[in-house]
Every structure is written in structure tokens, then in C-alpha cells.
């Protein structure tokens, strides 16, 4: 039996492309039972914009993926060979499974999705009950501190993180405006209960925000950076909270663009701007998950999944995040659980 892996073979300069990866066949990995390792079959991969940053040789919150290492990726696998009673055969595990069909890992790096209800399918565990919804939850509630009646603007609003953040803000009684690319995504957001949308591909963001937020923006949940961030600063209310979650509009820039040119408003309007990484709140996952499950059960959270298939399609699936072709949480299915 052989394993297949997609390796990072060169670091992208500018936009990531399929050419940055190479497919390798190798022998099946053998778990080291003395270290508690088990053999895992990969079932489903998550695709996250942050993966673009992991490909650069730059200091960040995780080390860069090494050249000729299997590309790092979160996902869900199933234990198929085990002598570890904590991870018996058949257990579904979550963690950095990487772009490979099989991997070995110990309980330190792979864990059963404990906070999830028994039998939660991999796609749900990676989408509406996955890391992007947790990111939305912690960013909005812990940094944004929304109050009923606040005006909240979310960029990248039709994506996995943005759509969760926007709907949680609605649950908290806020007026919510989403910024997204194209009519189809904007219509979906209105259908999910947002008060208004800005289609940044056909509308001037700053002008539309001025019309839609006459008293200014109290909370900006930013997934995009660039023009959206500048427009939100322009239209911020006094004492606004800016949650810097992501900056996807510049992840593929070969050299950084100049930042927002209106930073003086942070002083004049007393804006608080704070970045965060979801892992900062790992101790609170059970609390967040209980709320997300409740909202899901009550029909208050809508979500979309874009599930591609086929090991050979892994690199091109990553590109979907950067041209906006993903319709909701981007996943790729490799196999069904046994
Ligand atoms: N801080 C954290 O811990 C954390 C954790 C998870 C995710 N994030 C961040 O959250 C953001 C969203 O991630 P996600 O996984 O939920 O992905 P996603 O929003 O489901 O998919 C990415 C979306 O970004 C938009 N986009 C791509 N290129 C763009 C550009 N040049 N300008 C404007 N919009 C662009 C596209 O939507 P349109 O079609 O609407 O353009 C695309 O569908 C990313 O910035 C990511 O890095 C942060």
C-alpha cells in the first residue's frame, strides 16, 4: 500500500498557483506505537486563507511549511490502525492532517472533536461547527463586545467566518451590513437575515457605508483589509471597535501595499483596533460550541459548504478562496468514514 502527498515544492511569489505544489507517492507511514501513534486515513480537508501565509518563509504565529513537506492543512481523519486505547480504531480525529491520504500522529496533535455532539459528520465539524465559526464567535463577542442596537459591518461577509460573524451580530440584536463580492453572495446574505449588503465589485464601499450607516459604524469585523478597511475607518462612529480577523485582499501581494491612508481617524474617533488568532481563546471552546450548537438547533445560523472531491484537485481547491469562487466553507472530501 502506498501513500500520496501534495508537497510544497516552491514558495509562491505573488498569487499562489498549482505549480507551487508537487504530487509524491511514498510508502505507507508506520506509526510508532511506543509514542502512542496511530495510523490515520484522511477523510476531509479544510481550506483556509491562512494557508497562503504558511507558505511564506516569514515569522508568524505558526512556523512556515518547509520546502518538500506535505502542505499543512486542518481536517478530519479516521484512525485505521491503533494500539493506543485513547485513540481506538474507528475514532474520528481532528487536527492538522495535511495534504496526504494517510498520516501517523499521536494524541498530542490529533484529538477527537470532543465538544461536538456524537456522530457530527466531518463536513459540519469543519464548517458551521468548525474553526471559522469559533473565530467569528470569539472575534465578535470578545473583542467587538456588541450591544443591541450597534451598527456592525462585516467584510468577506458571505464566507465561512464572515457569515457566522454577521449572523451572531444579528442574534445579539445589532444592525448588520455585509460586504461581499457579487449579487449571488449578497442575495444569500439578505436571505440569511442581514439588514443590508454592499457588493464591493459593483458599488463604492465608502459611499454605500455612508448611506447605510448614518450614525457611523460601531463594530467592523474585517476579513479583507485594503479598501474595505479604509472605507470602514472613513465611516466609523466614535469609540468604534475594529476586529482585525483577516486581510485576504493582500495575502497574495508580492510586496505589501501601503496601508489605509486615513489612520488619523483612529485618534480623532477614538477607534480601538485589535487583531487576534482563534487559538487565543482555545480554553473557551466548550462555551462557544454550546452557543453555536444552540443557535444551530434554533435555526438562527445558516451556512454554506463548498465540498470539492478528489485528491488530485487539492491544490486547485485552495485557489478558489482567492478568486472568490467558493460558496461558503471550502472543503474537499477524500473518503467517507467507515
Ligand atoms: N484570526 C483568525 O484566527 C482567523 C481564523 C480563520 C479565518 N481568518 C480569516 O478570516 C478570513 C475569511 O476566511 P474564511 O476561511 O472564512 O474564508 P472565506 O471567507 O470562506 O473565503 C474567502 C473569501 O474571501 C473573499 N476574497 C478573496 N480574495 C479577495 C480580495 N482580493 N478582496 C476581497 N475579498 C476577497 C472572497 O469572497 P468574495 O467573493 O465576497 O470576494 C472569498 O470567497 C480570512 O482573511 C482568514 O485569514 C482568521
Residue 105 belongs to a domain with what CATH number? Answer: 3.90.180.10
Question: Is 113 found in the same domain as 96?
Answer: yes
Residue 211 backbone dihedrals phi, psi, to 5 degrees? -70, -40
Position 116 scores a pLDDT of 85
How do 74-81 and 2-8 pair as beta strands? unpaired
* Domain count of the fold of the chain: 2
What's the chain's length in residues? 338
Grid cell, residue 215, equals 450614525
Nearest CA to ligand 1 atom 30: 249
Nearest to 99 by CA among 137, 61, 68, 141: 68
pTM above 0.95, yes or no: yes
Q: How deeply is 142 buried, as exposed, middle or buried, from its count of CB atoms within 10 A (0-12, 13-18, 19+)?
A: middle
118 and 135 part of one domain? no
Domain contains 243? yes
- CB of residue 16 inside a 6 A radius of ligand 1: no
Residue 338 lies in a domain: no
CA distance 142 to 33: 41
- Identify whether the C-beta of residue 79 lies closer than 8 Å to the C-beta of residue 88: yes
Decide if 166 contacts 192 (C-beta within 8 A). yes
Domain assignment present for residue 285? The answer is: no
Please count the other Cβ atoms lying within 10 Å of the Cβ belonging to residue 72. Answer: 20
State which ligand 1 atom lies nearest to the alpha carbon of 132. Answer: 6
pLDDT in tens, the chain (338 residues): 899 999 999 999 999 999 999 999 999 999 999 999 999 999 999 999 999 999 999 999 999 999 999 999 999 999 999 999 989 999 999 999 999 999 999 888 887 776 788 889 999 999 999 999 999 999 999 999 999 999 999 999 999 999 999 999 999 999 999 999 999 999 999 999 999 999 999 999 999 999 999 999 999 999 999 999 999 999 999 999 999 999 999 999 999 888 899 999 999 999 999 999 999 999 999 999 999 999 999 999 999 999 999 999 999 999 999 999 999 999 999 999 99
Do 231 and 271 fall into the same domain?
yes
- Render 210-245 in DSSP notation, one character per residue: HHH-TT-EEEEEESS-HHHHHHHHHTEEEEEEEEE-
Which residue minimizes the CA distance to atom 2 of ligand 1?
277
Pocket test for ligand 1, best of 161, 188, 306, 322 (most atoms within 8 A of CB): 161
Q: How far is the CA of 159 from the centre of ligand 1 (A)?
A: 6
Tell me how far the alpha carbon of residue 220 is from its chain's centroid: 17
- Boundaries of domain holding 156: 131-280+290-295
Number of DSSP helices (H) and strands (E) in the chain, helices first: 10, 15
Which atom of ligand 1 lies closest to the CA of 47? 15
The CATH number of residue 216's host domain is 3.40.50.720
Amino acid at each position: 500500500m502506498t501513500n500520496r502527498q501534495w508537497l510544497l515544492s516552491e514558495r509562491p511569489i505573488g498569487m499562489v498557483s498549482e505549480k507551487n505544489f508537487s504530487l509524491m507517492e511514498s510508502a505507507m507511514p508506520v506509526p510508532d506505537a511506543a509514542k502512542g501513534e496511530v495510523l490515520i486515513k484522511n477523510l476531509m480537508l479544510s481550506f483556509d486563507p491562512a494557508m497562503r501565509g504558511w507558505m511564506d518563509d516569514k515569522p508568524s504565529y505558526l512556523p512556515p511549511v518547509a520546502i518538500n513537506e506535505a502542505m499543512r492543512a486542518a481536517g478530519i481523519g479516521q484512525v485505521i490502525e491503533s494500539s493506543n486505547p485513547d485513540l481506538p480504531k474507528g475514532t474520528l480525529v481532528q487536527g492538522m492532517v495535511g495534504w496526504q491520504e494517510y498520516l501517523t500522529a499521536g494524541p498530542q496533535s490529533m484529538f477527537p472533536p470532543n465538544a461536538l455532539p456524537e456522530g457530527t459528520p466531518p463536513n459540519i465539524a469543519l464548517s458551521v461547527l468548525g474553526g471559522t465559526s469559533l473565530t467569528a464567535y470569539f472575534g465578535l463577542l470578545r473583542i467587538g463586545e456588541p450591544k443591541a442596537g450597534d451598527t456592525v459591518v462585516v467584510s468577506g461577509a458571505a464566507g465561512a467566518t464572515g457569515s457566522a460573524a454577521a449572523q451572531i451580530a444579528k442574534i445579539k440584536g445589532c444592525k448588520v451590513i455585509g460586504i461581499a463580492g457579487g449579487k449571488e453572495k449578497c442575495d444569500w446574505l439578505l436571505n440569511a437575515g442581514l439588514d443590508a449588503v454592499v457588493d464591493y465589485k459593483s458599488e463604492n464601499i465608502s459611499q454605500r457605508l455612508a448611506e447605510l450607516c448614518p450614525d457611523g459604524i460601531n463594530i467592523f469585523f474585517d476579513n479583507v483589509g485594503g479598501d474595505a478597511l479604509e472605507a470602514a475607518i472613513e465611516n466609523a462612529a466614535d469609540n468604534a471597535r475594529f476586529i482585525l480577523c483577516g486581510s485576504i485582499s493582500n495575502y497574495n501581494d508580492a510586496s505589501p501595499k501601503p496601508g489605509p491612508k486615513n489612520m488619523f481617524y483612529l485618534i480623532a474617533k477614538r477607534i480601538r483596533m485589535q487583531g487576534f488568532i482563534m487559538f487565543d481563546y482555545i480554553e473557551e471552546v466548550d462555551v462557544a460550541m454550546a452557543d453555536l450548537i444552540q443557535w444551530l438547533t434554533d435555526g438562527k445560523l445558516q451556512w454554506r459548504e463548498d465540498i470539492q472531491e478528489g485528491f488530485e484537485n487539492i491544490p486547485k481547491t485552495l485557489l478558489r478562496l482567492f478568486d472568490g469562487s467558493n460558496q461558503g466553507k471550502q472543503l474537499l472530501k477524500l473518503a467517507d468514514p467507515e
